[in-house]
Structure 1
């Protein structure tokens, strides 16, 4: 069993994004073994196809530059590398992210690129799980949750690999307390 703790960064614009398809531009993830230990990490940029030019807002928010994206591989290639790294076809797995939006964006990008989404069926929203474990009235953002645990947020907020790392720290701290489930 592998636990794949991941985060995505997406194309974005200031103000109303209605009618604009947000594509994945970065995937950051950590593979956790059945004992709660980090095994490896995955970090790749993705070249978007619908909106290949990043907005100034997106670059400022994520610190991802146009050059990083221009030099990146297309989604189809990066997601195959991600699936190979995560051993999706070899080991049972759970995908774990902070909130349910990453699941939606991952599925949407897979559908856009005609990639089967069955492998995404084991997914847990750790934001909701954290709210239950900590008995919080309302959910907290990742940075707030990290700091609430007495941990300093490490890295740059809104960078997938850094957000995934901080999420991994919370996940492993309460390893064994999460109610992981399969969704279909």
Structure 2
């Protein structure tokens, strides 16, 4: 069994502007085997279809520059590359992300682009399970969980590969406790 620990970043705006549809703009992931060994990584930017110009808020939050987004490939091509990297027809895998947002957003993007989303299951909502494992009264954010588990945050928050790398720290520490 392989685990794909991933994170996505999506278009965003300050507040909740009506009619604005979020789209994935970055995906980062690490492969982790059943023994906790970290394998290869995947990281790509994605050019959004509906709102290709990132908001100032989104650029500031993610530190993703507009010229980089302008040069990125579209969702269909990046997700095809991601599926090839996962090798969806090879050894079984379980997708794992901190919360449900990432999976839900990828499903919305698959629907927007007319793509099959069956490759997204099964998956682990690490945030919800972490709460149960640690007996917490409410869900804990990733940065807080990383600190609570005795690790230091590495990289930039709200960058997909860095968030995935920090998620891997918590994932590996509790490797035998996740349900899937």
2:157 aligns with: 157
1:98 aligns with: 98
Structure 1: distance between partners of 2:159 and 2:117: 24
Aligned-CA RMSD value: 0.8
Q: Which runs of 5+ in 2 are unaligned?
A: none
1:122-161 mapped onto 2 (5 Å cutoff): 122-161=122-161
1:77 aligns with: 77
Following superposition, the deviation at residue 151 of structure 1 comes to 0.7
Structure 2: distance between partners of 1:96 and 1:19: 29
Structure 2: distance between partners of 1:28 and 1:67: 19
1:62 aligns with: 62
Residues 51-88 of structure 1: CA deviation (Å, up to 9, x unaligned): 00000000000000101100101110000100010111
Following superposition, the deviation at residue 17 of structure 1 comes to 3.6
Following superposition, the deviation at residue 89 of structure 1 comes to 1.5
Could you tell me the TM-score, scaled by structure 1's length?
0.96
Q: Which runs of 5+ in 1 are unaligned?
A: none
Could you tell me the TM-score, scaled by structure 2's length?
0.98
Following superposition, the deviation at residue 130 of structure 1 comes to 0.6
Task: Describe the SS at the equivalent of 2:78.
Answer: helix
Following superposition, the deviation at residue 154 of structure 1 comes to 0.6
Structure 1: distance between partners of 2:82 and 2:42: 7
Following superposition, the deviation at residue 9 of structure 1 comes to 0.2
Task: Describe the SS at the equivalent of 1:99.
Answer: coil
- For the structure 1 residues 17 and 96, does the alpha-carbon distance in structure 2 shift closer, same or farther, using more than 3 Å as the test? farther
Structure 1: distance between partners of 2:17 and 2:143: 24
Task: Describe the SS at the equivalent of 1:154.
Answer: coil
Task: Describe the SS at the equivalent of 2:83.
Answer: helix
Structure 1 residue runs of 4 or more that deviate by more than 4 Å after TM superposition: none
The answer on 1:30 being equivalent to 2:24 is no
Paired residue total: 180
Structure 1: distance between partners of 2:3 and 2:121: 13
* Counterpart contact for 1:2–1:86, Cα < 8 Å: no
